[in-house]
Structure 1
Amino acid sequence: MTDEFSFVRLDHVQLDIPAGAEDACRAFWNGVLGMDELPKPPVLAARGGCWFRGGGVEVHLGVTPDFRPARKGHPGILVRSLDALAERLAAHGHEAVWDDNLPGHRRFYADDAVGNRLEFLEPEAAPTET
């Protein structure tokens, strides 16, 4: 850390999407995940894509001409009720791939509507004293 500046929080994450995929992305980010679509400024809206916010998480989806889904790089999104989210994704045809390799967290990976990798995680409950 430096005295000259400090980080406040992550404002948003941007993921690439192919041209014409906005409706499929709306169906996933709004329809499945329940995030609100945000209006884009007109100059940016002309480029295509769409933006979403849910809780403290904001995701921008930007059109990329030579689109390839992100398979390694991904956002890690903290959630409450991880099991309920996994069930909701499964009910909409999106598989949750569980991974127990992060101590102190439960987590799974899933793909968005265009194949981008997403990580959803929740801190493990602390053991209670008896």
Structure 2
Amino acid sequence: MLTALDHVQLAAPPGSEDDLRAYYAGILGMTEVPKPPVLAARGGCWFEAGSVRLHLGVERDFRPARKAHPGLRVTDIEAFAARLAAHGAKVVRDDDLPGHKRFYSEDPVGNRLEFLEPLA
């Protein structure tokens, strides 16, 4: 039986780790966690924030995920959107999900990310 979602993996091009660290740790505020040595040799990086785990894996023939995406719950979504915009990230608001405020953005390699907050 399924009990939980362990992590979501997104692809990234070779050599993008520093940009990913600057974005996921520096801007989103996630913590980078060490990969096991056998996996670290493949490149990429892993991040966590609370129970949220995102793995960025190197893909030689990389194409960013433009439709598929993780949906990440946040608190104080307006401040979060302002933080991303202040760092030059695109913020595309969307009011189509009843009971939520949400917006879309992209990581530095072009992967789509959804940020949402349930309305009180």
Larger Rg: 1
**Aligned equivalents of 2:50, 2:83: Cα separation in 1:** 17
**Aligned with residue 55 of structure 1, among 44, 50, 66:** 50
Alignment length, in residue pairs? 120
- Cα shift at 1:9: 1.4
- Normalising by the residue count of structure 1, what TM-score does the alignment of the two structures yield? 0.90
* 2:110 aligned residue: 115
SS of residue matched to 2:101: strand
* 1:42 aligned residue: 37
Question: Please, what is the CA RMSD of the aligned residues?
Answer: 0.6
SS of residue matched to 2:32: strand
SS of residue matched to 2:65: coil
**Aligned with residue 98 of structure 1, among 93, 108, 111:** 93
- Cα shift at 1:8: 1.7
- Cα shift at 1:82: 0.6
**Aligned equivalents of 1:26, 1:120: Cα separation in 2:** 19
Structure 1: gaps (5+ residues): 126-130
1:51 partner letter: W
Superposed CA deviations along residues 3-32 of structure 1, whole A, max 9, x for unmatched, are: xx3x22111000000000000000000010
* 1:8 aligned residue: 3
